[in-house]
């Protein structure tokens, strides 16, 4: 099960300031990009799990580098409790109005978003849901932002299965007509998950809101272009070379590294 698919209830119902600043950071190897985040995790779990996901990332799809693909795998990786997971802490930070708290995440965010933007966009209707009635928050004709990375699926059957929203009780299911989602199935740590990610600052309009009875609410959303850029694109890495580190004294010994120039 993907616990983060239910976290739509944590989205603030206000317009926050732009997610700005990360795009100026250089592209770094995963081990280095996560260093500012180490204090947020206990007992070396972040370094350990970053090593685990990168060790299993030998021949990434979509022409991603090992570090780019591993950054997605680390995002999907479940800690012992969901609230200890990297995705939980990152999305919590993306949803706070205190944008200065994002600064330690910039290097990792640069690597992750660079990887996601290199994946082909999904232009289809995708689904997201929660086992609650939150339909009153989505008024037809209104526009909203979702500030976290939004986990969705292209399988309605999966969303209505017992492990997700089920077939009874209070449920709100979103039909999202989008053109910028990214399927991360080939880069998830859990290959069986059919997860599609929407970028932070996803902007949409509520097209319809239907009460179907028996606790079931269907809400149709349509992706829109925001009035202003709220998530700048990752800047290009400039000129770079990729090679294997042969320095035995280096923590990246025998690993693929990228050396950038002009970042």
Residue 135 in contact with residue 219, Cβ under 8 Å? yes
Whole-angstrom distance, CA of residue 46 vs CA of residue 85 = 9
What does the pLDDT read at residue 3? Answer: 72
Q: Return the higher-pLDDT residue of 41 and 244.
A: 41
First to last CA, the chain: 39
Q: In whole numbers, what is the pLDDT of the chain averaged over residues?
A: 89
pLDDT band, residue 247 (cuts 50/70/90): confident
Going by C-beta distance under 8 Å and a sequence separation of 6 or more, which residues neighbour residue 56? Answer: 73, 189
pLDDT beyond 60 at 241: no
Where do the domains of the chain lie?
A: 3-10+19-261
Burial of 182 (0-12, 13-18, 19+ CB in 10 A): buried
In tens, the pLDDT along 221-240 reads 999 999 999 999 997 644 44
pLDDT beyond 50 at 53: yes
Architecture of the domain spanning 3-10+19-261: Alpha-Beta Complex (3.90)
3-state secondary structure of 16: coil
In tens, the pLDDT along 200-223 reads 999 999 999 999 998 999 999 999
What does the pLDDT read at residue 261? Answer: 47
Whole-angstrom distance, CA of residue 78 vs CA of residue 94 = 19
pLDDT beyond 80 at 242: no
Average pLDDT, integer, range 143-162: 87
Residue 222 in contact with residue 207, Cβ under 8 Å? yes
In 3D space, the residue among 64, 42, 63, 68 whose CA is nearest the CA of residue 53 turns out to be 68
- Angle at the Cα of 236 from the Cα atoms of 234 and 237, rounded to 5 degrees: 115
Residue 86 in contact with residue 46, Cβ under 8 Å? yes
What does the pLDDT read at residue 239? Answer: 40
pLDDT band, residue 263 (cuts 50/70/90): very low
């Amino acid at each position: 099960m993907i616990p983060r698919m239910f976290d739509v209830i944590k989205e603030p119902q206000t317009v926050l300031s732009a997610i700005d600043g990360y795009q100026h950071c250089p592209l770094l190897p995963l081990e280095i990009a996560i260093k500012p985040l180490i204090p947020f995790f206990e007992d070396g779990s972040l370094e350990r799990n970053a090593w685990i996901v990168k060790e299993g990332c030998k021949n990434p799809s979509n022409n991603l580098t090992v570090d780019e693909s591993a950054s997605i795998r680390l995002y999907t990786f479940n800690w012992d409790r969901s609230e200890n997971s990297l995705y939980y802490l990152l999305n919590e930070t993306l949803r706070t109005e205190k944008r200065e708290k994002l600064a330690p995440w910039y290097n990792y965010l640069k690597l992750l978003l660079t990887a996601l933007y290199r994946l082909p966009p999904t232009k289809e209707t995708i689904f997201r849901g929660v086992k609650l009635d939150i339909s009153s928050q989505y008024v037809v004709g209104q526009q909203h932002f979702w500030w976290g990375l939004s986990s969705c699926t292209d399988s309605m059957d999966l969303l209505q299965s017992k492990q997700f929203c089920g077939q009874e009780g209070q449920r709100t299911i979103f039909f999202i007509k989008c053109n910028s989602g990214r399927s991360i199935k080939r880069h998830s740590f859990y290959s069986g998950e059919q997860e599609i990610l929407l970028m932070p600052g996803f902007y949409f309009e509520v097209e319809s809101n239907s009460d179907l009875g028996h606790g079931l609410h269907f809400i149709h959303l349509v992706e829109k272009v925001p009035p202003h850029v709220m998530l700048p694109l990752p800047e290009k890495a400039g000129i770079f070379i990729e090679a294997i580190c042969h320095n035995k004294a280096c923590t990246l010994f025998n690993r693929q590294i990228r050396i950038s120039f002009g970042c």
